[in-house]
Amino acid sequence: MQVLSVTPEIFPLIKTGGLADVTGALPIALAGKGVAMRTLVPGYPVVMAAFAKKKRVYQYPLLQGGKASIHAVKIGDLDLFVLDAPHLFDRQGGPYGTASGADWPDNWRRFAALSQVGGDIAGGAISGYQPDIVHAHDWQSAMTLAYMRYGKAVGVPSLITVHNL
């Protein structure tokens, strides 16, 4: 079974809380059960710096205001799709806000892009990869399910986990 996980955080690359712990451990735990999980994560600077070799598997001429690419990478036991969209994610500070703690004013656009890409991958955008199910994590990837429903992934099962209320 192929599972696509869509998340804004994954341990050991980017972590602000328990969400990253779960999304980092789940693929490894499920692999022991015969489940192959690939995780889509934003290309924050710390994520982009974590791998030397990348394979571009899809390119967007325009995604929420700029060019973007999806790279397939393997880091340790994790198979990742990394959304390389510098206009959205190449910033100093944390994944959700500035170094001073203020939210990024365009978080809605940043995570809409992540969700759109999740929906596109579920709809077959990446040649040779088709998930059997999509697992979205928290509000940052919740729109993935809407992009699936109104895009090319209508029949792909999905679920969302809200890690913190």
3-state DSSP of the chain: CEEEEECCCECCCECCCHHHHHHHHHHHHHHCCCCEEEEEEECCHHHHCCCCCCEEEEEEEEECCEEEEEEEEEECCEEEEEEECHHHHCCCCCCCECCCCCECCCHHHHHHHHHHHHHHHHCCCCCCCCCCEEEEEHHHHCHHHHHHHCCCCCCCCEEEECCCC
Percent above pLDDT 70 for the chain: 100
Read off the CATH number of the domain in which 61 is found.
3.40.50.2000
- pLDDT of residue 53 exceeding 90: no
pLDDT of residue 165: 77
pLDDT (tens digit per residue) in 29-45: 999 999 999 999 999 99
Split at pLDDT 50, 70, 90, the class of 164 is confident
- pLDDT of residue 132 exceeding 80: yes
Task: For residue 103, give its domain range.
Answer: 2-161
Q: What is the arithmetic mean of pLDDT over 129-137?
A: 98
pLDDT of residue 52: 84
Number of structural domains (the chain) is 1
pLDDT of residue 54: 87
pLDDT (tens digit per residue) in 76-122: 999 999 999 999 999 999 999 999 999 999 999 999 999 999 999 99
